[in-house]
Structure formats: C-alpha cells, structure tokens
Amino acid sequence: MEEQSDTIQKMLMQATLMSNLATLKCYYPEIHQFYQTYKLSGNEISIDNNGKPNLLNNGEFVYDDAALFAKSQVDNFCSNTNYQNYFTFDIAPQKDSEINFEHERTLKKLDTIRKKDTFYDTPNNPWNEEQIDCMFMIGSGLGYQIEEIFKQKRVCNFFLFEPSPEVFFAMLHCIDLKPLIEHCFAKAGQFKITIGFGPETALNNLNDYLKEIGNFNIARMFVFKHYESETTEKLISLIQEIGHRLSQGFGFMEDEVIGFSHLLSNIEAGFPLLMKKEYFVNKNPNRPVLIAGNGPSLDNKIKIIKERENEFIILSCGTSLRALLANGITPDIHIEMERTSTTLPWIESIPNQEQLKNIQIIALAPVCDEVLNKFKTPKIINKLFDYGGYLVKELDKLDLYESPDKMNPTVTNCALTLMISLGFKNIYLIGTDLGFKSLEHHHSKDSMYYDEEKYSTKESLDMFKKELTLKGNFGGKVYSTKVFEQSKGNIELLLDKNKSVTAFNCSDGVAIKGTTPLEFDEIPVIKNKISKKEFLTDLLKISFSSEQLSYSEIEALALKSFGDIKSIIDKLFAITDRDIRSRDELRLLFSLQYQTLFKEIKSLTKSAGAVGLFLQGSLKYFHAVIMSNSYYYNNLDKRNIYINDAITIMKEHFYVTYQELTERYNMPSKV
C-alpha cells in the first residue's frame, strides 16, 4: 500500500510538472525553454517518510512537513507584521520655509488633510486589508506558502525571486501556478518570476517590475522571505540599505517647466552642447583629473591640492567652488546641475565675482542662464530623462549630441560622467565624501553651509540627518543620507560600465565600489608636457557644438507637444471622474491611469519621449502619496472621502501646471 501511495504521489507530481511547463510556455516562454529538458542534480524532489513531496539536500530532507511549515510560516508572518515585513512610501515632512515648488506644497497638503482626519502618524497594520496590492517573495521553496497567501488574501501583484533554478524546478512538481497567475491578471495585476540571479540583479528586476505595474504599489509592498541563505540575506540587507531608491527620483512637471525655460534661454544664447565621443578625439586621455566635491575631508587636503594644482585638471562641483577659491585654487572647470535660480545667490556670495570670468563652466542644459553667464564661455550637456532633453534628441538628426546617464543626484555624479564622456581614463576623487563623520562638519568649512549670514548653526545642522551608516573609504563607518547613498550607487554603476577608467577615491568618506582608496599625499608626482589651458581649450573646442540647435525648431516641437500633454491629462482624469468607494477600486483606477499614460505615449510620434517625461514623475508621486495615506484610515467612510478629495486636488494640480507650461515656457524661471 505504501509503495502504491508513493507511486500515485509521483504520478501527481509529474502531472503537476507537465501542467506547469505548459503554463510557463504560455506566459513565460524563456523560463519554459530553460526547464523543458532540465534535470535535477542537487536539491532533488522526492517522497519523504510521510509520503509527501520534500526537498532533498545532500541526502537529507529539508522539511519535516513542507506544507505544514509553509502554513505556519505564513500565519506567523501575518500575525507579526512589522517594518521588516513590508516596504512603505513616505515623504519626509518639510517646513513651509523649505518648500519651493507647488508640487511639494500640494503633496504636503495631502498629508496635512490625512493627519487632521486620523489624528495619528502610525498607519494601520496593512495586513488587515483584504487586498494586498504587491508582494515580493524571496525563495519559492516548494511553493506551498504562495498558495497559502493567495488563500488568505486577494493578491494583485506578485514578484517571486528564487535564487536556485533547482529549487524552482522542484516547486514545479508541487503547486499549480496557473490559477495563481490568472488570479493576478484578473485583478489587473501581474505575476513576475525571476530565477537564478544574484541579489543586486533581483533588486534591479524588482525596480523594473514596479515601473511596469506602477510605482504606487510601493505604498505598502510586502517582503516575504521563505528561507535563509547567503543570497536571500544579502537581498534583505540590500532592501533595507538601498530600497529607498525605489521611491525617489521620479521628477515632476513643475521642475520640467523650469528646466525647459532655461534650456530655451541657453539655446538662444548659443551655448554649445557636448557631442558624442565618436565626433572628437581626446589626445591625452590619461591626463589626471581631480574632481573636488564639497565634503568635509576636502579641508584636510586643501593645502596639498594648492601645491599640486598644476598636475591635475581640477573640477569644482557646485558649492565646492567657494571652498577652492577661498584657498587660492582656481578650478579649470566648474560644474553645475541644479536647474532652479536658487543657485544664483550661492554663486553671488563669492567675494570676487571677476575671477569667475576666468573659469570654464560646464552645466546641464536646464541650468539657469543667469548662473552660466557669470562664468567664461558656458557649455552645456543635454540631460537624459528630461522634457527638454527629449525635444533636443528629436531634433538631433545626425545623432550628434551626448545625453549621458548617471548624471545625478549630486554634482559629483555630473562631473564624473562628463569627464568619462570626454574620454578621460585617470580620475581622482577628493572631497566626494558622500557622508560625514560628524554632524558639525558635514561639508568643507570654507563653503556656503557655514556662512552665518545665510545659515544659523541650527539651520545648517537641520539640513543633514544621519539617515544611513555606510562603510568608510579608509575603514570605519560614515554617516550618510539617502541622496548621498544614491549618488554613491550611480558612481558605482557608471564605473562598472566603464571598466577602462581608473578611479581613485582620496576622500575620507564612504567607500565606493569600483574605486581604489588612496591618500592624496601618496599620489606620485605627475608631469605634463602640454599646459592645461592649451590642452583643455583644444579639447573643449572640438567636443562641444551648437550645429543642430535652433530656438525656433525646438519651440515649434514643444508647442506641438502641448496639445498631446493636454489630451493625455484629459484621458487620465476621465478615468477617475467618479465616486470612488474603496481603496481596492482606487488601486484599479490608478493602474488604469498608469497603463493609459504609457499606451497614449506609444501612440505619439515626435513628442512621445518628452510628453512621457513631463507627466510620469508627477503621476507616480501623487499616486504613491495618496495610496500611502489611504492606509492610515480605520474609518472606511472617511477614507473614501479622503480618496475622492485627494483626486480632485491632484487633478487641479495637473491642469494648473499644464497652464503654467503653456504660458511660462519662454519666460524667466519663477524659482
């Protein structure tokens, strides 16, 4: 009888495997192709002494009872939901005096209304919701915990990451994936599968998944870890350390209006744009470049930098300019990237304004022309993922201009990307601490942050918080912020894509993967036959051009895009023009808005990229903020009132900002 039972169980497992392979062929053809002739070799599926499917690892069964363990694990997860079990979207509250944009003011208004309604700042246990919008499961095991979760909750979007192809293949023998996948589809969601990658790739795939289904799903995204391994633990650590990257950097409409008005002014002024590498040759790519950030460790090396300034091409990054000039160091190139005119007072705080005319400035194209005109022969870089930047690309018939990636979020990123785009291979980072060891010393002491006329000591300290603790470049730990950590991540990604570049981190700040820690004092003496001035003059002359830049042409293309933007905004808010009666309905409508936006963009021709960049950032932020706030309500009637009022506020903001685009695109920046 026992042998007969085992035989039946094996037949059922084989039938389940065949059914799942057919399902994979239909929905995931690449995974199906991989497993079509796959054979287990390590984690084998077998029948245990209880006559049930079990994993064998090195001759030992993994589970006492796989199904019972999975149910117990899910029950424990549900009853002990804490911050480690789900990812939340929250925007840090801002003081009214710190708000520069209507975008910020409106999002804060949505939070303020919710706080008045709920009287507390702790959200409800999200597991109390009948519907789970998004779940990220790490480790499939035999899949029984997946079935259990789908029994307990209506899951809309499910992302499964299994590091081991063998374990996933074993799972295909045990549970039927088809009803789970089709359940997500029926809820206007998706069932995503990632197999066999490392933790970094898994997190990147999750980011891509959220972009596909709508970033508002991170308002409450559950993270379920089925088993412990080196890979799963590393992934959990990554989510805790850099998961904030999933919820920032979307951009917003008002920012695009400002940037486009500056771009037009810069094109009208005749400022040339950076060209692609194939259009020029850097005759001395190994000439050393020193990128000077405004980190606190800059102070310790400022004297030796002065002594050796002729050995390096020196770049100042934003606020590090004043620190360098205060110590008698004139940078060869100054870099700016912030588009708002609030940069201007910082530049004007430099005592000797005449010396700026001796400094070459290179900035992102949306930077205010008033800032650029303070310097010598301004040059600009087309900005990727930017409304105006896409219009420039559309007019660039010869594919002449470079639109580099990884240019933000700090000026250091912009400087490094520029020098790599110019063909330099030997780069030193100084003052690029991307953190601080003491709150009292968060930037160079000679920078604007210690200007008592502009900042009190308290105001200066309030600007920087110990949000993260990261590994130090020369050992130990360094306090950092989410923005600085994102800057670090983008430097690492940039260097990983440019293996021929040798980068030395001479800063006493955070460790940066892809750079070699090196004390600035230990750099050997560097001799150059050709003067910096002569070399740079020749290189910048051949690497920048305004050949295809026409104010009238870009303006005409923008005017065409205005109609497309208006049409899409109308369609987006026609979707929510109803009395919304639940959070579940809100998720469905937000999903429809999100998918409609990208469907409409694909139908466009010339202005597709520009229209998409103009609208999608604000849509993501408003969706995420409204959805996140909805979780704070115990009273469902009050929740529904909030949801409908919030949609009205969102709609008004979109139309007002659109009107601002059409009326102010060719006027001076308001910020």
- pLDDT 10s digits, 196-216: 989 999 999 999 999 999 999
Q: Determine the average pLDDT of the residues in 134-138.
A: 95
Strand arrangement of the beta sheet that strand 60-61 belongs to: 44-47, 53-57, 60-61
Confidence grade of residue 372 (pLDDT, cut at 50, 70, 90): very high
522, 621 contact by CB (below 8 A): no
CATH architecture of the region 2-80+129-247: 3-Layer(aba) Sandwich (3.40)
Average pLDDT for the chain: 90
DSSP 546: -
pLDDT, one tens digit per residue, over 533-578 is: 999 999 999 999 998 889 999 999 999 999 999 999 999 999 999 9
Residues 6+ apart with CB under 8 A from 516: 502, 503, 504, 505
Residue with tokens 């620190």: 323
pLDDT, one tens digit per residue, over 169-183 is: 999 999 999 999 999
* Tokens standing for residue 433: 């601490």
Q: For the chain, percent helix, then strand, then coil, each to nearest 5?
A: 50, 15, 35
pLDDT, one tens digit per residue, over 582-633 is: 999 999 999 999 999 999 999 987 788 899 999 999 999 999 999 999 999 9
- Pairing mode of beta strands 515-517, 60-61: unpaired
Q: Determine the average pLDDT of the residues in 512-533.
A: 92
- The CA radius of gyration of the chain, in Å to the nearest whole number, is 28
Rounded percentage of the chain residues whose pLDDT exceeds 70: 93
pLDDT, one tens digit per residue, over 69-101 is: 999 999 988 887 665 577 887 777 778 888 889
pLDDT, one tens digit per residue, over 284-340 is: 999 999 999 999 999 999 999 999 999 999 999 999 999 999 999 999 999 999 998
**Is 581's pLDDT higher than 90?**
yes
pTM of the model: 0.90
| Cα(372)–Cα(106) distance, integer angstroms | 31
| Cα(425)–Cα(440) distance, integer angstroms | 35
Q: What are the angstrom distances between the C-alpha of 57 and each of 43, 47, 61, 71, 580?
A: 5, 13, 6, 22, 51
**Is 444's pLDDT higher than 80?**
no
More confident position, 442 or 132: 132
Nearest residue to 347 (alpha-carbon basis) of 245, 253, 419, 454: 454
CA dihedral 56, 57, 59, 63 (to 10 degrees): -50
pLDDT, one tens digit per residue, over 229-276 is: 888 888 888 888 777 888 888 899 999 999 999 999 999 999 999 999
Nearest residue to 147 (alpha-carbon basis) of 212, 214, 226: 226
- Pairing mode of beta strands 477-480, 333-336: unpaired
646, 235 contact by CB (below 8 A): no
